[in-house]
Structure formats: structure tokens, C-alpha cells
Amino acid sequence: MDSSVRWTSGYKHIFERAEKYGSQIIRYEGMARVSAHTLRPTFDYMKRDVCAFTAFPEIEACAQVHLKDPVTLKLLIEPWARCGLERCCMCPVLPGPVLPCVRHSALHRCHRFDQSALTMVMARLLNDDFQKLVMPNWFENQPVLKKLGGDVMNNYFHL
């Protein structure tokens, strides 16, 4: 959980969904596809075709709920962590030049590092069931999470 995120309502519902499906992740409407925000070397490292991932939206990194069970650890957390430890996977190039997303390109326009790797691992595992792991943005007409930006929390580090 990112420090800029606050649960506002429905968190019990999210935990129940995580219990049922193993994980819950955030994906906002209009999120870019993982193929647009992931560099080619990450696809090459995972031995995956870029086109196979054009249907999958990028996962938001700010909040996730994962069940601590052997299946989730072995099939999701371990491959994600392994990717983070391998030079050619999560961070295949110096990050500075690939952080900004230039909208003129459909593929590989920037790189989202941990988000890219997690999205690819989850999409590969779940394929059609990917949507089951997406947290609902709203619960009983209330937003589930509120993400606070620096403009909202300008006194964040002041006591």
C-alpha cells in the first residue's frame, strides 16, 4: 500500500474478494495497456509476445491485496520478485529516459517497472479471469480508495 492511498469504504468487501480470488489489484478506467507501458526487453526476458498482452490494462501500483497462501506465493509473488532481481527483466535500461510516457507511440512508449512485471505475470496466469482480481473502484456508491497527490498533501512531512 502506497502512503498516498487511503481506504474510504468497502475495504471489507475487497478483503473478501481477495479471500475468494487470491488477490485484488487496482486498474482505473482508461489505464493504458501493458504493451504500451512496457519495454521490449521485459517481454523478451519473459519470452512473451507483445501482441498477446494488448488486451491487458496496466495494473496500478498504489494498492494491492494478496492472500498469503502457497499458490499465490509460488505463482505470483515469486515470479514478480525474481523479475525484480534480474537485471534484464523489471529494469532493463536506465530508468530516467523511459519514465515519461510519450503518447505518439502505441507500443513501448515508456516503462512502468514493477507495474509492468506484475501485470504480465498476472495476465499470463489468469488470462480471461484477469478481471476477477480487479478491485471495484466503487462499493455502495462510495469510492473504495482515495489517492492523495502532493498537491493535496502539501504538509505531509510536517509535524
pLDDT per residue as tens digits for the range 109-147: 777 888 888 888 888 887 767 666 666 665 555 666 555
pLDDT tens track for 5-17:
777 777 788 888 8
Which residue type, as a one-letter code, is found at position 146? K
State the sign of the Cα–Cα–Cα–Cα dihedral 80, 86, 92, 93.
Answer: positive
What is the gyration radius of the CA atoms in the chain, in angstroms? 16
* Residue 65 or 140, more confident: 65
Q: What is the pLDDT of residue 29?
A: 63
Q: What pLDDT score does 28 carry? A: 64
User: For residue 25, what are the β-bridge partners?
Assistant: 64, 134
- d(CA 28, CA 38) in angstroms, rounded, equals 18
From residue 57, how far is each of 17, 75, 76, 123, 131 by CA, in Å?
Answer: 20, 20, 17, 9, 10
**Model confidence, pTM:** 0.71
The tens digit of pLDDT for each residue in 77-110 reads: 899 899 999 989 989 988 888 888 777 667 777 7
Q: What is the pLDDT of residues 49-61, one digit of tens each?
A: 998 888 888 887 7
Q: How many whole angstroms separate alpha carbon 70 and alpha carbon 45?
A: 25
